[in-house]
Structure 1
Amino acid sequence: MSSSALLVIDVQQSFLQAPYFNASDMPLYQAKQIELITACQRQHIPVIQIFHVEKTGHFSKASGWVKPMDFLPPHHGLVFEKTVHNALLGSGLHEYLQQQGIEHLIISGIRTEQCCETTARVGSDLGYQIDFVTEATLTFAMQHANGQSFSANEIKTHTELVLSGRFARICSIDQLVASWPALALA
């Protein structure tokens, strides 16, 4: 399945410093992220880490927080840095994927509705087949300017709604693994 790659987007210690960080969903997310990485490694699917880097603050290299979260297994693959919300443009990742003949992206990481969703949308527009594994993404509750609050689960549900059938296939890890024989034939 060399035409596939798993993107582990922004799973970095910078988020632990953010004022909106909430650890309540971390145990389940960690388990699912590790399960997805392990499943991809078993299929020899490259696992690519993406880190978000800004000039200042806890996402800056100077902060010392632009490094993998401690729960991630040791990583021996490629690492790309991005300065925008999508992982593909301006990071060198899209060019690398094209050189490698990778046409199928598996999306996981932190913030479901921000960098993960944006990467899925841009990836689809660039012609990649996208599998969005929501259970291996993490986000945080948000409040609208009108005062209405949205839980992390509501935000994930919205992301699934707007991506499904237009930009990505929404799937669980089990559904993804079950589809791999079909992907290998494509």
Structure 2
Amino acid sequence: MWMKVLFLLLLCLSQSVWASDSCQAHVRRIERETSVRASCYCGPSLSRVLAQLPGTLRVEAACQMRRNRGFGKSSPLRPGVDVLDLDRYDADGSYIEGWVFLRGQLELEGQVMLSDDGASFSARQLYREDGGTSVLVNNYLYFLVQLSQAQAQLFKPPRARPGELACKTRTARVRFTDFEIYRVDTGGDGSRPGRVEVLSLGPLKPCMDG
């Protein structure tokens, strides 16, 4: 019995150390990119984060979170003090700004758009104009997930001559692992998956306007 208790204690300790290391990695990266001190929800302060996430996704860290007050003004949220609601717009219709790091997997069926400008994935059948159940999920996981060049190659993009814009789209079932979601005034907003596994692909079709 005591061996089982010891094992559980060691497991909890190892997970706590891993979470702390992971959080510090996010802090160091953001401080390197922004040259300002980072403030993150992670570890115990994640208990104050509200997010209804699909699949096995969970919030690993949320950093530099602030409320946009308009006219170039914003107010920072304080981890461990303020509740961070990633599912809702503010009363004035604005959304939280900052970086959100998700850990876990999500399997989706949708459309991948492939062009010279890059590649993105959207599950438009799940997208809702009013933000749906969760603004974070609706706007950043179901719509315009940005794919790296290496990830785009997994969807077998068409070959085009240099300078020729060849926009194509195809249906795909995809398993995503981990996400980085960013909404910052200096770099726009979007989401990037850490890993992409293509489960099925439909035929290539021309992109349609709208």
Larger fraction in strand:
2
More helix by share: 1
Q: What is the TM-score with the length of structure 2 in the denominator?
A: 0.27
TM-score if structure 1 supplies the norm length? 0.29
Q: Which has the higher contact order (CA 8 A, sep 6+)?
A: 1
Larger Rg: 2
